[in-house]
A and B are shown apart, each in its own frame.
Chain A
Amino acid sequence: MSLPTQTPEGAVPDTPAPGKGLVIALSVLACSVIAHAVVTDWRPSPGGNPWLVPVIASGLILGCALLLALRLRGHAAGSDNLTAARMHRGRDIAGATLCTGLWGLGFFHAVQEMGLVTATFLFTAVGMLALSPDPRRALRVVLPLTLAVAISFWLLFTRLAPIVLSDPLFW
């Protein structure tokens, strides 16, 4: 069925066409997996060796990479402007991915070092403020919200699905 007109065009991120980088990445991945299977002395077993499925999957990847490469040859490369915009966007995404990953690692480390409640309160507050256009104004919402989240997490992860913590509350 189709939705009415309210569906915005940009609801789903545009899907980039596969490029040369993808073909190379897939080929490198498949060749590495096959090379590792060949050089590693895995204990053989009945019903095909341990490398059987990884090598079949890698072969499939190589075949697909070849098909993609052939298709790429048939298509003209994108304009310089498009490539520049994509690179700019790619840099932004890479930066955000790195920051989010570091936030996650920091949060997990803080839970173990500072306690669940303190770490949840601090890290969710920092995350929300970092993403707010006006952090000072957002404080009024962020502080009670993060407190409620910290208490909910405490209930959830010390009562419902307990996780191993030195001290769930504080240090």
Chain B
Amino acid sequence: MLELLISALDVALSPTVLIAVLLGVILGVTVGAIPGISGDMAMALMLPFVFTMDIAPAIGMLMGLYKGSLFGGSISAIMFGVPGTPGAAATILDGFPLKQAGFPNRALHTGLYSSIIGDFTSVLVLIFIATPLAVLALQFGPREFFALYAVSIVIIAALDKGRVALGFSAAAVGILLSMVGRDPFSGAARYAFGSTDLAGGLGLVPVLIGLFAVSEIMLQAGRIFRERFAHLEAGVRQRTAGEGYDPDADRLSLREYATLWRAVVTGAATGTFVGALPGAGATLAGFLSYGLAKRVSRNSDRFGKGSLEGVAAPEAGNSATAGATLIPLFAFGVPGSGSAALIGAAFIIQGITPGPMMIESNLTIVYAIFILLLYGSIFTLITSKLLLPHYARLSMLPPRYILPVVLALAILGTYAIGNSTFDVWVLLAAGIVGVAMRGVGMPIAPVALGFILGPGLERALRQSLILGFNEPGYFFSGPIALSIYGIAATLLLVFVLVGRE
């Protein structure tokens, strides 16, 4: 055992691997911060280079890139209100208001520390309890996934106290948007109106960037334009470098961060659990962590208005999927997410098939990967600490200089994903829908969640109907599904009681 550990350390701490992980982290943070260029996309672009590298530096670079991008996504979410990666969408809800209030540094550092804690937690879980968790995750069938998705939507839709009807209708609108395109069961083109583009469905990235970013840009542009010609109303106030930004007031103390433990623990635990479920992913982890943290918080009324807890929870949550998403891949060869599938592809390119046999026959490599996953988190912390002040300063530039650049970046970044003109139309249309929704007071987050979960929810529902011979009782027959409903009902009851108090 000791010999094995020494040889794993020898592999993991070799200069080539250290440099590869470091490069991956820097690249990951940078591409994560750029809206429209997701970590998955950068990982896919890296795959051809994996051919030329040894297994340890190749996987090290990909893992570094993945970890870096998970945090990097929060940089543009906080700075510009644009999720750099879909996983950072929930971070916008409080990160961007914090930045607007003149606290970008505190928001970014809260995101960084929470991201590292979440990531580290999930790597430890991966190392120590990978197999039992993977067994549980693999027991999830369509019925259990339907329960998980339905409960997720209920929790997110009920985020806004007193506006539950709006939350539910927003989630339903998101589900409807996700229904555009081919029906996965019959192949019928739904709501395509004869268009081949619509028959292909609406892309996740253009819809998310449009709803969150483009609508924000449109509203901010309107405000700046209004202020330029007539000083009628203040609208959204934003502190800039020239408007009394106080760097001293924007420092995050360790004591202050320690008060966020509840949100961080909630996020890390939720993200680790959700990350281990195949197909659930960082975006769901972020939103679910946010929703749960809001409910357990003593300052839930501050959520959505610039709460540090609202940044800590989703960041811990989405980063906690980093290690957990590898659990089903390592233990059973089932990739839990797109990123895990790319890492699995890298293994296959290197001649190793992920799964139980990999743990049997390549234990040194597996241990080396565990070690590099651990120090990869430390690299993310150090490099991000060095980069953050520059990003924070950049975010304090007057919005009139930033908005055209961000919109151009959003357009080109969206186009870059599939070289599809249709995606650009969807992006702008989603922006207009976002403006309209904000105008009438509908929350955006449930729309995004409904859109993300819609296809999975439909698949789970219809598969369950097939398996249960159209019997509604089938949905409530499994112990895991019943447990999920039970936990959700308990949580909702607790929320109601706590809310009354």
Complex CA gap A130/B166 in Å reads 36
* 25 A/B residue pairs, CB under 8 Å, sorted by A: A2-B302, A6-B101, A6-B103, A10-B237, A11-B236, A12-B306, A17-B441, A22-B440, A45-B186, A46-B185, A46-B466, A47-B466, A64-B165, A64-B166, A89-B233, A93-B218, A95-B222, A96-B223, A107-B408, A111-B412, A116-B412, A131-B225, A157-B412, A160-B37, A163-B415
- Give chain B's interface residues, CB within 8 Å of chain A: 31, 34, 37, 41-42, 45, 97-98, 100-103, 165-166, 168-169, 172-173, 175-176, 179, 183, 185-188, 190-191, 214, 217-219, 221-226, 228, 233-237, 239, 246, 249, 256, 259-260, 299, 302, 304-309, 399-401, 403-405, 407-409, 411-413, 415-416, 419, 421, 424, 427-428, 431-432, 435, 438-442, 450, 454, 457-458, 461-466, 470
**Within the complex, what minimum Cβ distance (angstroms) separates A19 from chain B?**
7
Q: Is the interface of B mostly helix, strand, loop or mixed?
A: helix
Bound: A138/B224 CA distance, A: 15
Interface of A toward B, CB cutoff 8 Å: 1-4, 6-8, 10-13, 15-19, 21-22, 25-26, 29, 33, 36, 42-54, 57-58, 60-61, 63-65, 67-68, 71, 89-90, 92-93, 95-97, 99-101, 103-105, 107-108, 111, 116, 120, 123-124, 126-128, 130-133, 138, 141-142, 145, 149, 153, 156-157, 160-164
- Which one of B31, B42, B175 lies within 8 Å of A57 (CB-CB)? B175
Smallest Cβ-Cβ distance to A11: which chain B residue: B101
The answer to whether A43 and B188 touch across the interface, beta carbons within 8 angstroms, is yes
Nearest residue (CB) in B for A142 is B401
**Complex alpha-carbon distance, A104 and B97, angstroms:** 25
Which residues of chain B have C-beta atoms less than 8 A from A61's C-beta?
169, 172-173, 176
Asked if A42 contacts B190 (CB within 8 A), the reply is yes
Q: Shortest 9 CB-CB distances between A and B: which pairs?
A: A96-B222, A127-B404, A47-B462, A45-B186, A131-B400, A64-B169, A50-B183, A45-B185, A47-B466
Which residue in A7, A33, A45, A60 is a CB contact (below 8 Å) of B101? A7
Complex-state Cα separation, A13 to B438, whole angstroms: 9
Q: Give the residue of B405, B428, B465 whose beta carbon is less than 8 angstroms from that of A104.
A: B428
- A133 near B169 with CB under 8 A, answer no
Q: How far is the CA of A156 from the CA of B401 in the complex (A)?
A: 19
B218 to A97, Cβ gap below 8 A? yes
With A and B bound together, what is the CA distance between A79 and B201 in angstroms? 43
**A19 with B440: in contact, given A104-B407, A145-B401 (CB under 8 Å)?**
yes
Q: In the complex, which residues of chain B have a beta carbon less than 8 angstroms from the beta carbon of A48?
A: 461-462, 465, 470
Contact: B186 with A50, CB < 8 Å? yes
CB <8 Å contact, B441 and A57: no
Partner pick for A2 among B217, B299, B415, B454, CB 8 A cutoff:
B299
Contact A53 B454 (CB under 8 A): yes
Across the interface, B183 reaches (CB within 8 A) one of A45, A65, A103, A133, namely A45
Q: Is the CB of B249 within 8 A of A4?
A: yes
Contacting pair B34 A156 (CB below 8 A) = yes
